[in-house]
Structure 1
């Protein structure tokens, strides 16, 4: 059987200013278990800012998204500008605030955001060539911005009165997308656009359930190849 080749985009290292480490690890574990060939990529740009993960407060440091992504990738990460669409069968983007700060400026502008240039180009190429895209946590906002009318989930607003990401779901709807309520261990498949989404840490759930949801996302992305 021919190996399925999957590109994974990181946005730095650490939930508050980069890729969420557990989500990134879960993606890699499940791709490895499935026997996929994987390459990690990141845009070679400055981070929006650097956050002290003990205090949650920004610092005066300046860091680079590609360099910081190397921490998760064990050094094996490439500049996203080097990605060649014909080399890959699918794309997956883990979450973390880096998606909303470095891969886009969603954290500042919400639905009026722009997507970082290389990220926009890659997502549009995968979509145009009908190759599946897997997104978890906050990363579905990238598809919402770039793929009009797509179907996505960032969680389930009917399960928790104080669900903190209801505004995100509303913003997706305002962009013309359909938000579908899903539990943390569930996924939503937009068959028309070949998008697979799961909420991960957008939900307040045990980490093993987040890994379970990401496993389902990875499985379905590979099935769509």
Structure 2
């Protein structure tokens, strides 16, 4: 895709399923990728794989819920790679329970990771983009934010907030030539989905139910999301902002 060569791009949760697929794809397009993840060893392993394929990437340990850590990680990225061109807010966490069976501690963790963490990342990175009058932001939400999802009430609330937040920033920063778009994955074959299904009484039955519900007849794969994310980051999407795209095999069809 156009315009990604030598661009400095941060991907949070970069060592996970969707994150790692995205980092690899961006490196293949010639971008310089900062892999932000709490699991530094996994991030380093991914970087080694990218470098073995002639890509450029760095691994940075980052807890997005800690603003001081975020600021330090962003500073380190710029020192090693240069000014930040784009941000992919991909890090997330979920617990699969009916709302009345959840606890306040679980709410706090869900909100910290899925909402506060992405606020920290935006607030740390956007000044660089505003100063340079250019930038791309892709936020990873969920179809749970668009249509609801039983057992994911607080997660859906956080992701719904991310949709509204992204559209608002798309308006606020249009004059700065910064675009904000949102990807909403449907059920995707990642560790996060495995964690969600483990909370069900019959995990395999739930997984089969997800698959049957998808018109295209399969769970999403990380590469499916990486392709959509890469498009929004590229110059091919230069006139696209404030948009929400479901990548769900047709599970949700929103016009």
With structure 1 as the length reference, what TM-score do the two structures score?
Answer: 0.50
For residues 97-108 of structure 1, what are the structure 2 equivalents within 5 Å?
97=92, 107=110
| Cα distance change, pair 117–77 in 1 and its aligned pair in 2 (3 A) | same
Shift of 1:194: 1.0
Say which of 115, 119, 136 aligns to 1:133.
136
Name the structure 2 match of 1:204: 187
| Cα distance change, pair 4–196 in 1 and its aligned pair in 2 (3 A) | farther
* Higher helix fraction (1 or 2): 2
Name the structure 1 match of 2:165: 177
Name the structure 1 match of 2:150: 162
Q: Which of 1 and 2 has greater Rg?
A: 2
Name the structure 1 match of 2:250: none
In structure 1, list runs of 5 or more residues that go unmatched. Answer: 12-17, 48-64, 99-104, 139-153, 181-188
Separation in structure 2 between the aligned mates of residue 170 and residue 9 of structure 1, nearest angstrom: 23
Name the structure 2 match of 1:77: 58
Say which of 33, 36, 43 aligns to 1:39.
33
Q: Say whether the 8 Å CA contact 2:11–2:88 is kept in structure 1.
A: yes
The alignment's C-alpha RMSD in Å is 4.4
| Cα distance change, pair 119–3 in 1 and its aligned pair in 2 (3 A) | closer
Q: Say whether the 8 Å CA contact 1:157–1:163 is kept in structure 2.
A: no
Name the SS of the counterpart of 1:31 in structure 2.
helix
Name the SS of the counterpart of 2:234 in structure 1.
helix
Query: 1:163-186, CA deviations, whole angstroms, 9 ceiling, x for partnerless residues?
Result: 73421144447xx63669xxxxxx
| Cα distance change, pair 220–19 in 1 and its aligned pair in 2 (3 A) | closer
In structure 2, list runs of 5 or more residues that go unmatched. Answer: 50-56, 61-72, 94-107, 189-218, 240-255
| Cα distance change, pair 121–96 in 1 and its aligned pair in 2 (3 A) | closer
Shift of 1:111: 8.7
| Cα distance change, pair 2–199 in 1 and its aligned pair in 2 (3 A) | closer
Separation in structure 1 between the aligned mates of residue 110 and residue 3 of structure 2, nearest angstrom: 40
Name the structure 1 match of 2:22: 27
With structure 2 as the length reference, what TM-score do the two structures score?
Answer: 0.46
Number of residue pairs the alignment of both structures matches: 164
| Cα distance change, pair 158–125 in 1 and its aligned pair in 2 (3 A) | closer
